[in-house]
Amino acid sequence: MPNLETIAVVYDLPAALCLKSALESQGILVFVDGLHHASVDWWVTVALGGMQVRVIDRDATAARDYLQHVEGERVPQSPISSDIWRRPVTNGLLLFFGMMLASTPIWLRTRPRGLNQPPQVSTDGPPATTSG
């Protein structure tokens, strides 16, 4: 069974679809990993590491040559960025506290109004009853 080789990583759904279409027009079989995640929940694309454009290993050289011809520049050989893993604890804490700060206005809006006010008690006596 042939192996798949990653030739590019993209973070934009239209760019991934255009790249897939361009490579398939050259007769290269293309698989875009993460395409369905991006089409449903586009905001998780960065968290998942982007959409990896993969081709069969025997077509990888032809695909890179075609991309170089189209773009005019060389596609990096190691497209997966490892910057986020250099400081995992710092990045995790920043993500956690960023999510907490982002959700703070929701806490303030969902708090019931008048929670700290004492209940209203009538001092006029019992309510008047009408007899009929």
Structure tokens at 46: 């960065």
Domain that holds residue 33: 4-84
98 lies in some domain: no
Sign of CA dihedral 14, 15, 18, 23: negative
13 lies in some domain: yes
Q: Whole-angstrom Cα distance, residue 30 to residue 10?
A: 14
| CATH at 56 | 3.30.70
Query: Which has the minimum average pLDDT: 7-21, 39-53, 112-126?
Result: 112-126
101 lies in some domain: no
Q: Which residue has the tokens 């490892």?
A: 82
pTM: 0.52
Q: SS3 sequence, 41-58?
A: CHHHCCCCCCEEEEEEHH
Determine the pLDDT at residue 117: 60
67 lies in some domain: yes
Structure tokens at 36: 């369905």
Q: Is the pLDDT of residue 83 over 70?
A: no
Domain count, the chain: 1
Helix (H) or strand (E) holding 8: strand 4-10
Q: Whole-angstrom Cα distance, residue 80 to residue 50?
A: 9
Which of the two residues, 6 and 74, has the higher pLDDT score?
Answer: 6
Sign of CA dihedral 9, 57, 62, 20: negative
63 lies in some domain: yes
Q: Whole-angstrom Cα distance, residue 99 to residue 91?
A: 12
